[in-house]
Chain A
Amino acid sequence: MVQKKFIMAVSEGTFDKGMMAMMMGNTAASMGIDTHIFFTFFGLNLLKKGKNPKMGGLYRLFTGMMVKKMKKIGIDSYQEQLEMARDLGVHLYACNTSMEMMGVKKEDLIDGITILGAAAFLDISADSDMQLFIG
């Protein structure tokens, strides 16, 4: 079977966007799909060491409740999902311009992240079969 290639761009750093990116990415990798995720703008926060993203806006206050609810139905925390993504070989990219703009250093990010720009990510995307934008 020809291997499919899946690319995702994530521009928001809230809990729901991060979880969706991880769940889709980890499922794709588990299906043998070559998976690449590009984190840009606020999405970059999702790659920070020890980051536990919160829901957006007023829902922020209910993040803990949501995490507990997900745990109850067997869904791992965001950090565990991110760890799983690395174990499954999901390619994770940080946008260098966003890093500069938001004052994020390479050492602020978890290990195993490739830092690149738009052209490099578009090159990776050019021969992809599936594309998803989460923002």
Chain B
Amino acid sequence: MVIMMDKNDTLDAKGLMCPMPIVKLAKKMKDLKVGEVLELIADDVGSKEDVPAWCKRTGNELVGQKDEGSVFYFYIKKVQ
């Protein structure tokens, strides 16, 4: 997947386990405008499956993803 670093906002969800990163992500995305990108940082292993599933279900776009050791970065573009 292409790593996209351009972001409008960051949500640090490190130290949080499922389902909190997703619940906080959903809340945070409400503050973004359509077309803006949120960087989500998480260290919950489950988030690697959960974040793409959330994007698929809500119709938002996962434009980038990278791992740095046990920390995961997701770049999510607000589509609607």
Contact = CB atoms under 8 A, between A and B. Distances in A.
B interface residue count range (under 10 / 10 to 19 / 20 to 34 / 35 or more): 10 to 19
A73 B15 contact: yes
B17 A73 contact: yes
Contacts of B8: none
Contact of B19 (A1, A4, A27): A27
A64 interface: no
Given A1-B59, A31-B57, A74 B23 contact: no
A interface residue count range (under 10 / 10 to 19 / 20 to 34 / 35 or more): 10 to 19
Contacts of B53: 31
A23 B19 contact: yes
Nearest to A22: B19
B16 A26 contact: no
B57 A75 contact: no
B19 A26 contact: yes
B20 interface: yes
A67 to B, nearest CB: 14
A84 interface: yes
